[in-house]
Homo-oligomer: A and B are copies of this chain.
Amino acid sequence: MERKEAQRRITELSDEILANVSKGENPFIKIPVRGSSNVIWDQDKGLLSLGDKESKRFFINVAHARKFMQTLLVASFSKQLLSEDVHASLRESFYSLKHTIKGSKENTFEEQGESDATFVDLEVALDILRDELHINADRRGVAAGHVIIEDRGDEINWSKLGSGGWAIPGNVEDIKFKDLNADYMLVVEKNATFDRLHEDKFWNKHNCVLIGTQGQAARGIRRLIHQLNKKFKIPVYAFTDSDPYGWYIYSVIKIGSMNLAHVSSKLGTPDTKFLGLTISDIYTYELENAIIRAKDVDIKRAHDLLKYPWFKHKEWEKEIKLMIKKRVKAEQEALAQKHLKFVSETYLPEKIENKEFLP
Contacts and interface: CB of A to CB of B under 8 A. Distances in A.
B170 A162 contact: no
Interface of A: 81, 86-89, 91-96, 98-100, 136, 138-139, 142, 149-156, 160-171, 174-175, 190-192, 194-196, 199-200, 289-290, 331, 333-337, 339-341
Contact of A165 (B167, B196, B199): B167
A290 B91 CA distance: 11
B86 A340 contact: yes
Contacts of A152: 162-163
A331 B112 CA distance: 13
A154 B201 CA distance: 13
A86 to B, nearest CB: 6
A343 B339 CA distance: 49
Q: Which 7 A-B pairs have the closest CB atoms?
A: A151-B162, A89-B192, A167-B167, A92-B336, A142-B167, A91-B333, A95-B336
Contact of A164 (B86, B163, B166, B289): B166
A96 B336 contact: yes
A290 B98 contact: yes
A171 to B, nearest CB: 7
Copies in the complex: 2
Given A92-B333, A95-B337, A163-B175, 20 more contacts: A86-B199, A86-B200, A86-B340, A86-B341, A89-B191, A95-B331, A95-B335, A95-B336, A99-B289, A136-B192, A150-B162, A151-B161, A151-B164, A153-B162, A154-B162, A161-B166, A162-B169, A163-B169, A165-B169, A170-B195
A337 B98 contact: yes
Nearest to A88: B340
A56 B163 CA distance: 38
Nearest to A200: B86
A89 B331 CA distance: 13
A156 B167 contact: no
A163 B220 CA distance: 12
B192 A163 contact: no
B167 A290 contact: no
A157 to B, nearest CB: 9
Nearest to A201: B152
Nearest to A176: B162
A333 B89 contact: yes
A164 B160 contact: no
Contacts of A93: 336
B136 A149 contact: no
A285 to B, nearest CB: 12
Centre residue among A100, A139, A334, A339 by max chain B CB count within 10 A: A139
